[in-house]
């Protein structure tokens, strides 16, 4: 069994999350040794023997890897450069600290996945700036309008929209991001060889061009109810904050909001009409202090970015200014301000703007298309 096959075998045999598997990995146990130990029922595997009792004899690792490859996807693990280390380390590190009473309630599941199946673009890059938008499947015209305006704004600010791919609010959020030319990630509760819901199959394919569809579950896994609850932690973990657009009193979307609190993310809710049952859950979370009320994309970024880096009121001023430079989104303006009439390399611009190299390069190309800057070889300067 190759190393990649060992990860694929463990992904199917141990349905995540698994605190016991994470403990063995933290002790320095090799994944190939763990896979072999599970197969041979070696006693040092401890609690994993019981967890894998019904699946250990079924080794479909080659088949699973071939299936995901045929779909144009891949299996990624913490050993891969694409793994969203920063997002997961922050989220599950916070949960392990015990600082949140919610993380204590969800202690068994408050651990990182051991592998992810991915179709689409680089997950690590997509998770650098991400906001989760979730809500009811029974979306109203009001909720659809909110998803459209907020999702479009966040996409224009180069933030990835993360959601669960379900009908209703999830779909509207994904569509808003794509419609604005932005990136979006759907976290599935089943194997990626099937589209669930089937109605969103075309949407998922469209997402692959600028975003991704990911799952903790190998090909062939069905979307059982408990898997939706488990995947909610990943929606929260991959994001700087979770926004609930519409949620009834017992909406499943509120579970994602609780995960946001458990993982140290910003929990937010959109207020709705007082006559709408679709907003009862949002209003209750705002009233209890479990979610902060937000009414625009600017307010969302004001809460999720570093203190002082976004001022919603100031952004409104920029949005309505006549000067095309003042109209730039905040991050584009940071890159533009780092430039001068003297050519500079991308590394210097990245350092001066305080943005990652990947994001900086993306913004430089965007500014060039707007005619505000120009390129001279591998260097950049303001347009003359």
pLDDT in tens, 139-196: 999 999 999 999 999 999 999 999 999 999 999 999 999 999 999 999 999 999 999 9
| CATH number for region 321-382 | 1.10.10.10
Sorted by sequence, the CB contacts under 8 Å of residue 215 that are 6+ apart come out as: 116, 117, 187, 188, 189, 190, 191, 192, 221, 231
* CATH classification for the domain delimited by 103-304, as one of 3.10.20.30, 3.20.20.70, 3.40.50.300, 3.40.50.450: 3.40.50.450
Helix intervals (H) in the chain: 3-13, 19-26, 31-40, 48-51, 61-70, 85-97, 101-105, 123-126, 141-156, 169-179, 201-207, 225-237, 253-262, 280-288, 297-304, 312-319, 330-338, 346-353, 357-369
CA distance 176 to 245: 13
User: What pLDDT is attached to residue 243?
Assistant: 98
User: What pLDDT is attached to residue 328?
Assistant: 87
- In order along its 384 residues, the chain shows pLDDT tens digits of 899 999 999 999 999 899 999 999 999 999 999 999 999 999 999 999 999 999 999 999 999 999 999 999 999 999 999 999 999 999 999 998 877 776 556 667 899 999 999 999 999 999 999 999 999 999 999 999 999 999 999 999 999 999 999 999 999 999 999 999 999 999 999 999 999 999 999 999 999 999 999 999 999 999 998 899 899 999 999 999 999 999 988 888 899 999 999 999 999 999 999 999 999 999 999 999 999 999 999 999 999 986 445 555 555 555 555 577 878 888 999 999 999 999 999 999 999 999 999 999 999 999 999 999 999 999 999 997
pLDDT in tens, 57-81: 999 999 999 999 999 999 999 999 9
User: What pLDDT is attached to residue 329?
Assistant: 87
User: What pLDDT is attached to residue 308?
Assistant: 45
Q: Pick from 175, 167, 168, 212: which is nearest to 192 by CA?
A: 212
List where CATH 1.10.10.10 sits in the chain: 321-382
Regarding pTM above 0.85, the answer is no
List where CATH 3.40.50.450 sits in the chain: 103-304
């Amino acid at each position: 069994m190759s190393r990649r096959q060992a990860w694929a075998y463990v992904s199917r045999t141990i349905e995540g999350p698994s605190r016991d598997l994470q403990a063995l990995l933290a002790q320095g146990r090799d994944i190939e040794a763990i896979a072999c130990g599970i197969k041979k029922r070696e006693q040092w595997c401890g609690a994993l023997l019981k967890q894998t009792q019904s699946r250990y004899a079924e080794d479909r690792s080659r088949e699973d890897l071939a299936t995901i490859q045929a779909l144009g996807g891949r299996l990624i693990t913490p050993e891969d450069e694409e793994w969203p280390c920063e997002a997961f380390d922050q989220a599950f590190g916070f949960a392990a600290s015990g600082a949140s009473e919610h993380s204590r309630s969800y202690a068994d599941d408050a651990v990182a996945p051991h592998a992810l199946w991915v179709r689409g673009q680089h997950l690590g890059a997509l998770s650098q700036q991400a906001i989760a938008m979730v809500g009811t499947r029974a979306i109203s015209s009001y909720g659809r309008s909110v998803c459209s305006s907020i999702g479009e704004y966040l996409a224009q600010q180069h933030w990835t929209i993360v959601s669960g791919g379900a009908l209703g609010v999830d779909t509207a959020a994904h569509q808003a991001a794509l419609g604005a030319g932005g990136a979006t990630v759907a976290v599935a509760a089943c194997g990626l060889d099937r589209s669930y819901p089937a109605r969103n199959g075309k949407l998922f394919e469209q997402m692959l061009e600028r975003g991704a569809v990911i799952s903790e579950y190998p090909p062939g896994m069905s979307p059982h109810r408990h898997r939706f609850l488990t995947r909610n932690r990943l929606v929260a973990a991959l994001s700087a904050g979770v926004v609930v657009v519409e949620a009834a009193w017992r909406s499943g979307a509120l579970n994602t909001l609780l995960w946001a609190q458990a993982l140290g993310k910003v929990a937010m809710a959109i207020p709705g009409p007082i006559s709408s049952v679709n907003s009862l859950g949002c209003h209750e979370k705002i009233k209890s202090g479990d979610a902060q009320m937000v009414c625009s994309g600017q307010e969302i970024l004001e809460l999720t970015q570093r203190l002082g880096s976004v001022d919603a009121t100031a952004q409104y001023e920029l949005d309505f200014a006549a000067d095309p430079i003042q109209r730039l989104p905040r991050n584009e303006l940071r890159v533009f301000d780092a430039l001068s009439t003297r050519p500079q390399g991308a590394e210097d611009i990245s350092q001066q703007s305080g943005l990652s190299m990947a994001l900086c390069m993306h913004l430089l190309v965007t500014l060039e298309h707007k005619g505000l800057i120009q390129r001279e070889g591998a260097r950049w300067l303001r347009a003359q």
